Structure formats: structure tokens, C-alpha cells
Amino acid sequence: MAIEWAGSPPELLLRLDRGATGTLRGQLEAGLREAICTGRLKAGERLPSSRELARQLGVSRGLVQECYGQLTAEGYLCARTGSATRVAPVRVHTEPGAGTAPAPPAVPPVRGLRVDFAAGVPDLASFPRGDWSWAQREAARTMPAAGFGYGDPRGSEVFRDVLAGYLRRVRAAVAEPENIVACAGFAQGLNLVLGVLARRGVRRVAFEDPGYGDGATMAAADRAGVEAVPVPVDGGGLDVAALAASGARAVVVTPAHQWPTGVVLAPDRRRALADWACERNAVIVEDDYDAEFRYDREPVGALQGLAPGRVVALGTVSKSLAPALRLGWILCPPSLAGAVAESKRLDDRGSPVLDQLALAALIESGRYGRHLRHMRAVYAGRRAALVEALARHAPDVPLTGLDAGFHAVAHLPPGADERQIVGAARRRFVGLYGMSTYRASGAAEPPALVLGFGDLTATAIRDGVAEVADLLGAH
């Protein structure tokens, strides 16, 4: 990454011993040689000007100029008129056994996947760099000096106020700023919530099955010291009767677009789930992870709006903007808000405020909504490419879960060996992912694939499907 030099001289730690027998120039030359040969100064690094280094070391400028000239002649430094003195590309030769371990043999590069249908990855190339840069500048320009302190562990008041309005308008949530806690994404939010619930006596937490395949939710339960129990999901979403029989007093759900099956929690199940929470004095943790991206149906409001006193709603910008931002929020019932905020304070004192203000600026300016509308069109085009490619190359493989988000489920023919198909595709440098990795039991029956298309172009989707069509049961 090219960085424009701001004009301040770089600092360089060198020590001169005025009580030693050698000359100061000799010590300086030896110190610079050692720094270059040991790698402390890398090729291309800018050295202080002769005037600045002389000031730092308390020696004459002429002495530093003579030193730089000598090391330039020896090939350690390079300088051009009108440019800074820099470390030259130096290949250091050492004798075997001289204290430098021989370099390990080169490892041949591993060929990567040509097409990777990894789910849960948004289009990283479409991150709105210009809008985000504008929003960060705006946040830095307008934030008062007091805002640069530690502040409220719940997050910026401006951010929470703007976000509450957004959640009320767009997700039909019951949201007030004092009940929102900013966090570093879903994983931290879940860790904080489960920790609070465990301290309040919850010992068993239910999770959807199939559900999260990366182990993050299981790890969060283990960290909180609670038992994680799987509850089955069918075409209507979470089986609430099975949840009631599980003995759990909390459940983590993805009602708007179940991960990974893609089904929507049916209206009667939504009501039944809210009733379960009220009757059992239980808590629902709602992961509203990609509700912004919908295609063939009307938007489904957040479950939190149905039972705000029983639902903790977790949201992030990992799917709408990019995972690298590590920015999310916890919309808490009033009875839990204070405890979650205190847990956040003890965990890390609070999330970065400038990023919160940048997101608030995006939302208020309309840039966030504009980006979401653009990405809906992008993902809709990629979804269409996946449907068309499978219809052409593997017409006997139906797709489900396509109403929202940017992944779908391909149902393989009965008897197909899901793991063998995944392995064979990998040997063709196409990444496929089996539903078995999302099931609590790890069972590969019925065989299915979870196909992500968020970070793939339409051309890559078509090429990838054509490459593995014969493995999927094409005729």
C-alpha cells in the first residue's frame, strides 16, 4: 500500500557510547549496518534526514552525512537527489552455523479454488468504499472532543438513537436507544448475552438444527457454562413443540431466513415461540443476519416486535456491508439491558465510536439504504444465474431457500454421497459444502449442499455449476 509521506521525520533508535574507545562515526556506521543485516531496518525503509538524525543523537550533521555516504558506497543505503535516504535491498550472506538458521525449503504453493460456493460471504468487492470514507471523515469532523474518551459502554448515543429509528422503521422492532448495546459482531453479542443469562440461572440453551456449522454458537454456550441442545427445523422453521420438550430456557433462532435451510418461521410458530417464552420465563435470541435481502416475498418484521420483553435481537453489518467492520448491536429487553451493558464494559469498555458514528451517518444520509437497494439487485442477478445454471446442467436438483439472502440449498438425489461429491468437487477446484456440516449429528442424510453465491460473479456461478454438474446427478 502506497502511503503519502506526511512530512514528519521517522524516528530511529540508535545508541552512541561517548565513553567507548571507538569514534562516534564508527559506532553509528556499525549500528546502522547491524540494524540492516539483522532485518530491524527493512529494504525501502526511510531513514531520518542527516539534520534530524544529528539532532536526535546530539552529533554534528557532517558526521551523519559522512556515515550515510560511507554506507551508500558499501551498498547498504541508497539516495537520490531530492529524495530521502533509504535502506537498499541487501542480500545478507552468512556462513553455515554462524548463528543464523538456514532458510527452510520453499513450500510449493497450493492451488486455490477456482469457484468457491462458500455461504455467508457477501460481495466483498462491492463494499462502498467511497461512502464509508465520506462517513468516517464526517464522523471525525463532527465528533466533539469529549467523544474521544471512553464514554458509555453501550456505545455512542447518536449511533444508538439513529439505529433505534432504523430498526423501528425497517424491521418493525420496538427499539429505544437505552436498550441498545454496540458490539463487535454476532459472536461477541452472543457471548455477552449467554454470559448474562447464565449468571441469571439459565442452564440450557436451544439451537436450531441444522444451524450454525462453524461451532461459534456451541463455543459461546461452552464459554458461558450452559448446555447447548439441538431442536429440529422443518419447512415451517423451528419446531416449537420440540423446543418446549427440551427443557431449555433460552433459544437462538434465525426466523427471517433460517440458517442454513432458508425457510421463514411460519406465523403460527412465531406466535407459539413468543408464547413459549412468556410461559417459561425464557429468552429468545434472534439473529437477524440477512433480513435486508429479500426477493420474492414481502419483508418479514423482526420477531422482537412481537415480544420485545422476551427477545434479544442481534444485528450486524457483516452481511450488509462487510465482516471486516466488526460492528453490530444488541437490542435488549429492558430487564437485560443494564446487565449486558455492564458485561460489555468489563469485556472491552466499548466498541469503536468513530465506526458507530460513520454507520449512523450512512443511515441518516440515505447512503446505507441506497447501498442495500443496489446489493439486492446484484444478489438477485446472481441468484437467477444459479437457478438457470442448475436448470440447465442438473435439472433434477431442486433449490430451496431462495426467498432472501445470498445462499440456497441444493437437494441431491436420494442415495447420493454428499461427502464424496464435496471431495470430488474440491479436486476440480470447486468449493461445495454439505448440509451435514450444519447438522448437530453430522448426518449426511438426506444429502444436500449449501450453495453461497454472494461473493461470486454470475459467470463464476455458471462455470462452477457446469464443472460439477455430473457429480450432482445430471442426466
pTM: 0.83
Task: Quickly list DSSP for 334-397.
Answer: HHHHHHHHHHHHHHHS---HHHHHHHHHHHHHTHHHHHHHHHHHHHHHHHHHHHHHHHHH-TTS
Name, in order, each residue with C-beta under 8 angstroms of 73's C-beta and a sequence gap of 6 or more: none
**Residue 414 preceded by cis peptide, ω within 30:** no
In this structure, are residues 210 and 229 in contact, taking their beta carbons and an 8 Å threshold?
A: no
Name residue 231's beta-bridge partners: 208
Q: What is the pLDDT of residue 104?
A: 39
User: What is the rounded CA–CA span in Å between residue 433 and residue 422?
Assistant: 6
pLDDT in tens for each of the 475 residues of the chain?
444 455 556 777 888 888 888 888 989 998 899 888 888 888 888 888 889 888 888 999 999 999 988 888 888 898 877 678 889 886 544 444 444 444 434 333 335 789 999 998 999 999 999 999 999 999 999 999 999 999 999 999 999 999 999 999 999 999 999 999 999 999 999 999 999 999 999 999 999 999 976 567 788 899 999 999 999 999 999 999 999 999 999 999 999 889 999 999 999 999 999 999 999 999 999 998 877 787 766 677 899 999 999 999 999 999 999 999 999 999 999 999 999 999 999 999 999 999 999 999 999 999 999 999 999 999 999 999 999 999 999 999 999 988 888 999 999 999 999 999 999 999 999 999 999 999 988 888 899 999 999 999 999 999 999 999 999 974 3
Domain spans in the chain, listed from the N-terminal domain onward = 24-87, 115-121+370-472, 143-365
User: What is the rounded CA–CA span in Å between residue 448 and residue 64?
Assistant: 70
| The pairing of beta strand 283-287 with beta strand 250-253 | parallel
Q: What is the pLDDT of residue 215?
A: 67
CATH 3.40.50.2300: does it fit domain 115-121+370-472? no
Q: Assign residue 14 a region: left if phi > 0, alpha if psi is -120 to 50, beta otherwise?
A: beta
Long-range interactions of 243-246: CB distance < 8 A, separation 24+: 243/206, 243/273, 243/276, 244/276, 244/280, 246/204, 246/206
Q: Which residue has the cell 426466523?
A: 255
Name residue 199's beta-bridge partners: none
CA-based nearest residue to 179, from 158, 154, 202: 154
Task: Quickly list DSSP for 106-167.
Answer: PPPPPP--SEE--TT---GGG--HHHHHHHHHHHHHH--GGGGS---TT--HHHHHHHHHHH
SS3 245: helix
CA 240 remoteness from chain centre: 31
Q: What is the pLDDT of residue 344?
A: 97
Q: Is 429 exposed, middle or buried (0-12, 13-18, 19+ CB in 10 A)?
A: middle
DSSP code of residue 100: S
User: What is the rounded CA–CA span in Å between residue 186 and residue 193?
Assistant: 10
CATH class of 143-365: alpha beta
**What CATH code would you report for 24-87?**
1.10.10.10
In this structure, are residues 248 and 266 in contact, taking their beta carbons and an 8 Å threshold?
A: no
DSSP code of residue 10: P
